[in-house]
Amino acid sequence: MIITLTKDSSEIEACADIWLQASLAAHDFVSPDFWHGNYSAMKEQYLPGSDLYLAKEEGTILGFAAINQRALEALFVQPTSWGKGVGSRLLRHVQNVHAELRLAVYSKNSRAVGFYLHHGFTVSKEQTCPHTDELEVVMLWEKAES
């Protein structure tokens, strides 16, 4: 597996597809209409405006991480690749590149909350997502000083 940066429009579209599939699979507490309704903005604005790291194997994108001003705005893995270390590899890579990261994750997504806690993030606060009215956990990570 390799990790690369991209601005390629076909790769961005593939990431938007992964985002949609993974969002639908991991967030059954949010209406599918929300995810479908935000697909175009994800593909045309959000992902192209981020530093987009791809996890690829044999040319196939398995997952991605989107970073924007020290915020881990998205880390999504193709559902068929869940539990195979793709997300961990992506996260370790961006942790090596950045000195600090922050993110917000739905509280009901306990798998993701546990994943980030396992990778050294700490809970900063709780807030309500303005788009879905769901409770989110804001998490922070800082590189240990050596």
Say what the pTM is. Answer: 0.93
pLDDT for 145: 77
pLDDT for 39: 97
pLDDT for 144: 85
Structural domain of 92: 2-142
Query: Number of structural domains, the chain?
Result: 1
**What digits encode the pLDDT tens for the residues 130-141?**
999 999 999 999
Q: Which are the contacts of 22, defined by CB distance < 8 A and separation ≥ 6?
A: 76, 77, 78, 79
CATH number of the domain to which 57 belongs: 3.40.630.30
CA distance linking residue 24 with residue 74, whole number of Å:
14
pLDDT for 38: 96
CA distance linking residue 40 with residue 45, whole number of Å:
8
The CA-atom distances, in angstroms, between 45 and each of 5, 40, 110, 113, 116 are 17, 8, 28, 26, 26
**What digits encode the pLDDT tens for the residues 97-144?**
999 999 999 999 999 999 999 999 999 999 999 999 999 999 999 998
